[in-house]
Amino acid sequence: MKDITRRNALQTAATMTVGAAVGTITASCATTATGMKTPFAVSDTYIPIVGSDMVYPVRRIYCIGRNYRAHSIEMGSNPDREPPFFFQKPTDAIQNVAIGTVGEHPYPTLTKNYHYEVELVAALSKGGRNIPVESALQHVYAYAVGLDMTRRDLQRAMGDEKKPWEIGKSFDRSAPIGPLHLADKTGHFTKGGIWLKVNGQSKQNANLSQMIWSVAEQISRLSQAFELQAGDIIYSGTPENVGPVVRGDTIECGIEGLPNLSVKIV
């Protein structure tokens, strides 16, 4: 399902049964089928859902920064003093990678220091404002393994100049992701191994329990700043030992309880 076209997704939507859990997704698909004419086609973004004939429509991609203690320190921050902060990637940064395949991930332009960051991704099926931490996980529909690929040199340069991070974080294909797994089936991820290897060599190896701000806390905080909506996904931060890759390298990464995600840098 490397290339999910709008037409396929709409056909899928048309054949699916309507249930409470998917009501918002149905509504979202319906709004794309209003029949209005456009001068050209712009592709929508979808992520496959394991065990389902539906695909997940992506509205926004939120990412949290410096959410593991040791990574916060390696990035030059004080993990005890910093409130959570967020940035976004454009939805078309998504690169879907099917289970058991190695996605071909293009080395981007302009950078000489291209970094991996393995992250747990939470996908929402319900939005809201000022969501309490206690009920926040009720908004999570599914989880996936994702990579927050980063042009580190450009991110740092912009940060040093107090300019926005976009060029370092929010570029084409900067968000490789495996398929979504329903939270109903996997349960919610609050602990478990999170790891990444490059060419078979261990690079990142930590535990989700080491997040400074849990997924529930992230949803709660985000919903104070933005009205969250169904279709929003959240990259929940990377542990320590981020580092560079070059063309020809293969990244394999995973989270305990989810299938591995692999990409080759081309």
Min dist. Cβ of residue 236 to Mn ion (A): 9
Closer to Mn ion by Cβ: residue 236 or 262:
236
Distance of CA 217 to the CA centre of its chain: 17
Site for Mn ion in 89-118 (CB under 5 A): 117
Count of residues engaged in binding Mn ion, rule: CB under 5 A: 3
Q: Does 72 bind Mn ion (CB under 5 A)?
A: no
Amino acid at 70: A
Contact assessment for residue 58 and residue 94, using Cβ atoms and an 8 Å cutoff: yes
Amino acid making up residue 101: T
Does residue 56 come out as left (phi exceeding 0), alpha (psi in the -120 to 50 range) or beta?
beta
Q: Which is nearer to Mn ion, 86 or 226 (CB)?
A: 86
Residues 228-247 that bind Mn ion (CB under 5 A): 238
CB distance 215 to 236 below 8 Å: yes
Q: How far is CA 47 from CA 20, 94, 142, 177, 248, in A?
A: 20, 8, 11, 8, 26
Strands 150-151 and 114-116: antiparallel
Min separation Cβ 60 and Mn ion, Å = 16
Nearest CB to Mn ion, comparing residues 91 and 238: 238
State the minimum distance, in angstroms, from the CB of residue 251 to Mn ion: 14
Structure tokens at 153: 């040199």
Pick 54 or 234: Cβ nearer Mn ion: 234
| Binding to Mn ion, residues 137-196 (CB under 5 A) | 148
CB of 18 to Mn ion, least distance (A): 35
Q: E-assigned strands of 149-265?
A: 150-151, 175-177, 181-182, 193-198, 201-207, 232-235, 243-245, 250-255, 261-265
CB of 213 to Mn ion, least distance (A): 13
Shortest reach from residue 182's CB to Mn ion, in Å: 24
Residue with Cβ nearer Mn ion (44 or 117): 117
Residue nearest to Mn ion (CB): 148
User: Would you tell me which residues interact with Mn ion (CB under 5 A)?
Assistant: 117, 148, 238
